[in-house]
Amino acid sequence: MATNTGKGFRKGEVRARSQVENTRTGDWVKRDDLSGRFVDVKRDGEPFKGVRREN
């Protein structure tokens, strides 16, 4: 699991997660790779830090 450094970045990657942008609202949605379920939504328009992006 990624660890926070307190300096505005993470060390490592968030494993078993990916993110995709909702084209209607511009929100970023985090998804669990194993189950495919949506885990979290970020509504400020910025992507999650340390989570890979889906194409």
Q: What is the pLDDT along the chain (55 residues), one digit of tens a residue?
A: 678 899 988 888 889 999 999 999 999 999 999 999 999 999 999 999 889 999 8
**Tokens 């885990």 belong to residue:** 39
Here the tokens at position 25 are: 């609202």
Question: What is the predicted pLDDT for the residue at 20?
Answer: 97
**Under 8 Å between Cβ of 48 and 42:** yes
User: What residues pair up with 7 in beta bridges, in sequence order?
Assistant: none
Tell me the whole-structure pTM to 2 decimals.
Answer: 0.78
pLDDT the model gives residue 1: 67
Two structure tokens written together for 45? 């328009």
Which residue shows structure tokens 């890979």? 52
How many alpha carbons lie under 13 Å from residue 48 in its C-beta half-sphere? 22
Q: Using CA atoms, how far apart are residues 53 and 55, in angstroms rounded to an integer?
A: 7
